[in-house]
Amino acid sequence: MSDPTQHAAPEIRASNDDRYSRQILFRGIGRDGQSKLQVASVAIVGCGATGSALAGLLGRAGVGTLRIIDRDYVEPSNLQRQSLFDESDAAESLPKAIAAARKIAALNSQIVVEPKVEDLVPGNIEVLLEECSLILDGTDNFETRYLINDYAVARSLPWIYSAAVGSYGVTLNILPARTACLACIFPDSPRGIVETCETSGILNSAVNLVASIAATEALKLLVGGIDAPTLRHTLLSFDVWTNEHAEISAAKRRVDCRACGQHDFIHLAGEGRPHITLCGRNSVQIHERQRPIDFTEMDRRLQPHGLVRHNDFVLKFWRDPYEMTLFPDGRAIIKGTTDTAVARSLYARFVGS
């Protein structure tokens, strides 16, 4: 049976003129630019607030193939800012990649959407990002961003860093061999107390601002290439509440940069990458691999121990005060603790060691 989220991307012809007519009229894109968008392939890593806004914008713009990579599922608290999801997605705990792909397929049946319900890690990054000419950041952590940066610099692929928290948004185009990379600007992960959506909240307007800017830069890249004269070569930040904004030049690379200067790709090599990590929302993620889960059998096993329900994509298990979301590849998100030992113990007890 064919996947309802997959659609062949046809050549641009008269039937498409009306759909993209206002975009084709824009001098920066035109008919030739629209044709380039139609054959482009873009990966969006993370489909939360920023990622879902990026996916929606590029899907409507007619980018031919969108690969959406996300490890998480839809919750009610997402609906305030994550534009591709609705209450039914949250009620079903649908994986965000699946829910996003369905929405985009409904709003533009002329493009290909490839949902990947996976956590981007060194072991799968080659497969998940292959054949994509541009990578967009919709993640919520620097560990994954440094991994993307290593991969993109090593392969001379452009990518766009984007982040939003509170009323603040920031974005940077990273053009290997032409601009500074993420490690040039941020040699180390932020230390000390770091604001997150969990602690500081977030305005959906800040999300939409940074996503709109990043999506526009993506269109410039896809239409004009990495030498497009209007591409921004700065780290741009804007606070929509205070109206404070700043730009820092990223036009020059640091000679001593670990990634683009010395080609020391420690994140791509997976050095020191933990198998159990904090996952926000008072949660811990268990990064299991090579443990395929039969949801029907697991449902039967867990019934005596708590409340269980599942669909084709996730299994949810509640045992007060914890909630476990189990994915088909064995990965799990355990909610209700930030103690990795407790999370591992629960996983070993109910799924296996």
pLDDT in tens, 105-128: 999 999 999 999 998 989 899 999
Tell me, what's the pLDDT at 353?
58
| Percentage of residues in the chain having pLDDT higher than 70 | 89
Please give the Cα distance from 183 to 266 (Å, whole number): 11
Predicted local distance difference test score (pLDDT) of residue 4: 42
Residue with tokens 């509440």: 241
**pLDDT reported for residue 198:** 63
- 73 secondary structure, DSSP code: B
Length of the chain equals 353
**In contact, 37 and 91? CB cutoff 8 Å:** no
Indicate if 279 belongs to the active site.
Answer: no
What pLDDT is stored for residue 12 in this prediction? 45
What global pTM score does this model have? 0.83
Options 47, 184, 197, 260, the catalytic residue = 197
CATH 3.30.310: which residues of the chain? 276-350
pLDDT at res. 290 = 64
Name the stretches of the chain with pLDDT < 70.
1-16, 190-196, 198-199, 271-281, 288-290, 353
What gap in Å lies between CA 106 and CA 277, rounded to an integer? 35
**DSSP for 293-320, written as a single string:** --HHHHHHHHGGGSEEEE-SS-EEEEET
Task: Give the pLDDT of residue 70.
Answer: 94
- Model pLDDT, residue 230: 96
Centre a 10 Å sphere on the Cβ of residue 69 and count the other Cβ atoms it contains. 28
Q: Which residue has the tokens 């799990």?
A: 332
Q: What is the tens place of the pLDDT at every residue in 83-93?
A: 999 999 999 99
- The CATH class of the 276-350 domain is alpha beta
CATH of 14-249, one of 2.30.30.110, 3.40.50.720, 3.10.310.10, 3.40.50.300: 3.40.50.720
- Residue 19 structure tokens: 């759909």
